[in-house]
Amino acid sequence: MKADIALETLKFIAHGVHPFSRQKMRKDHFFNEPEVLEAVNICINLVAQNLSKKTYLTQQDKMLINIVNGKARNHGFPWSNVDTKKLISEYIAGRAASTLSRELGRSRGAIVSHLELKGVTIR
């Protein structure tokens, strides 16, 4: 697992959201135990502190900063041709914008905007 996906998973858990289904977790779920939430938040803060000490940020570092700041991991990055083709073909095939946003590390708004920019009719 890449660090950006791992950190994104921790952020969802810290907010009481299942990292895969994106559904709110039950109050009695073990991830909502205070000790677990504290451990998750400590890990997130350690990553943030480590990144703040760097003088040169790699693309991976920038993705981690996006996640720490509550943004989609690819926020601010240009769209690759591969991601654009995948987005268009899978959206036309019926996949939901919200599903594609998770897979491509973009906000739902970025997905819709990019589709519109490329001339795809939004359903």
Model-wide pTM > 0.85: no
- 3-state class percentages of the chain: helix first, strand second, coil last, to nearest 5: 60, 0, 40
Q: Which helix (H) or strand (E) holds 44?
A: helix 34-52
Where along the chain do its domains lie? 3-68, 81-117
Q: Do 74 and 63 touch, CB atoms closer than 8 A?
A: yes
- Model confidence band, residue 36 (pLDDT cutoffs 50, 70, 90): very high
Give the integer Cα–Cα distance in Å for 120 and 112. Answer: 9
Location of structure tokens 């998973």: 9
Q: What is the pLDDT of residue 2?
A: 79
State which H helix or E strand residue 23 sits in: none
